[in-house]
Amino acid sequence: MDLSIRNIRKEFDRFAALDDVSLDIRSGELIALLGPSGSGKTTLLRLIAGLDHPTGGQIFFGGEDASLKTVQERNIGFVFQSYALFRHMNVLDNIGFGLSVRRGAKRIAKAEIEDRAKELLDLVQLSGLERRYPHQLSGGQRQRVALARAMAIEPSVLLLDEPFGALDAKVRRDLRSWLREIHDATGHTTVFVTHDQDEALELADRVVVMNEGRIEQIGTADEVYDTPNSPFVFGFIGESSSLPVRIEAGQLWFEDRPIGVPVGDAPEGKALLYFRPQEVRLLDGCGGCIAGTVAASRRVAGTRRLELEVGGHRERVEIEVPAGHPAAARSRIAFRPEKWRLFNARGEAAPSGKVAYAA
């Protein structure tokens, strides 16, 4: 089902947890709400669910205004970070709960509920654990049961609040790809909240990057990673370094020298240069470069991270070199960003680009 969130505002004691948030979600999409804690992502999820109500704005479920509907009427599936399984019910009863509370014309026979619950248990690959109680399950198993329980009611939208937040790294990765498979198999419109960028980038069709109650950027993993539209997104997604630079005569200047990055006819003035550690090129001579002294060197898996102090204010930037690269042994290093992005003082995107190198 299509979801449309229009100009949503939510205040807690005058503090705006969400400020004028609008977002359209297409039917069958898998959407990640990504942001640091306090960015309002869980608040937004709870507003969509109807567990909280907005101070202003509207939420549409498939063209129908759901703002005034109760959580029961919205027919959503909600998965909590803490699982929130009913501890006195076994796995089968947990999954069947949503069906067993239906009354009147929607009432479902016990045997049918059990069949449906078993089907779902099969889908989440936990057959054989029907009679277990939640405290007899591992964290990953509990989260699978919670997902099965949410899907049992055939929800119009599936909402997951930090679904893997309480699990260890290995289980997280397994469940991540598994969730993608389940989503592709069932086709539920799904929104999940996470503070883990890897999870968001790997799993979601589109990522909604949130910060301080606002949406910073909406886009595919490639879009938010390759063309971040604000300093926040650049800094939050992936690793990055920034340097204060000047645009002068079609060139970027860091302190007193040009760094060999042409910017065309960009307006002159101060700007912030953003680049990623792995998107730099080491230079031998410095005819236009950023040069710095190595302050720290760390081995990160297959590569080596060098922390450089550059310029008179000893600004720290990070660059990545191959693990065995001779540069790692040097104390002074010159480099130039290969891919970069500029933001002006107001955080607006200025030109970006790649440096063309002669082959």
Partner 1 sequence: MAVDQIVLGVQALPRPAVTERRATRIALTIIALLFLAVFLVLPLMIVFLQAFANGVGAYLGALQEPDSVAAIRLTLLVAVIAVPLNLIFGVAAAWAVAKFEFKGKAFLITLIDLPFSVSPVISGLVYVLLFGSQSLLGPWLTAHGIQILFAVPGIVLATIFVTFPFVARELIPLMEDQGAADEEAALSLGASGWQTFMRVTLPNIKWGLLYGVLLCNARAMGEFGAVSVVSGHIRGLTNTMPLQVEILYNEYNFAGAFAVASLLALLALVTLIVKTLLEFRYRDAISGSTGH
Is 294 strand, coil or helix? strand
Cβ nearer to partner 1, comparing 121 with 310: 121
Q: Which residues pair with 239 in a beta bridge?
A: none
Write the interaction track for partner 1 spanning residues 288-327; mark x where CB under 8 A is met and - where it is not.
----------------------------------------
With tokens 């003035």, the residue in question is 269
Segment near partner 1 (CB under 8 A); pick from 47-55, 118-126, 177-185, 187-195 = 47-55
Listed in sequence order, the DSSP H helices in the chain are 41-49, 71-74, 91-100, 110-123, 139-152, 169-186, 197-203, 221-226, 231-236
Site for partner 1 in 70-89 (CB under 8 A): 71-72, 75-78, 80, 82-88
Closest distance between partner 1 and the C-beta of residue 111, in Å? 20
Give which of 286, 287, 259 is closest to 271, Cα–Cα. 259
Distance CA 307, CA 299 (A): 11
Q: How far apart are CA 247 and CA 272, in angstroms?
A: 10
From CA 225, how far away is CA 42, in angstroms rounded? 22
Q: Which of 49, 237, 263, 317 binds partner 1 (CB under 8 A)?
A: 49
CB of 144 to partner 1, least distance (A): 15
Q: Which of 130, 125, 127, 124 is nearest to 89 (CA)?
A: 130
Which residue do the tokens 């069906």 mark? 99
The residue among 45 and 306 lying less far from partner 1, judged by its C-beta, is 45
* Rounded distance between C-alpha atoms, residue 351 and residue 22, angstroms: 27
Give the nearest distance from C-beta 317 to partner 1 in angstroms: 43
- Total residues binding partner 1 (CB under 8 A): 29
Among 98, 228, 238, 337, binds partner 1 (CB under 8 A): 98
253 contributes a contact to partner 1 by CB under 8 A: no
Whole-number Å distance between alpha carbons of 182 and 158: 12
Q: Give the contact letters, 143-182, x = binds to partner 1 (CB under 8 A), - = no.
A: ------xx-xx-----------------------------
Residue 133 engages partner 1 in binding (rule: CB under 8 A)? yes
Where do contacts with partner 1 occur on this chain (CB under 8 A)?
49-51, 71-72, 75-78, 80, 82-88, 97-98, 101-102, 133-135, 142, 149-150, 152-153
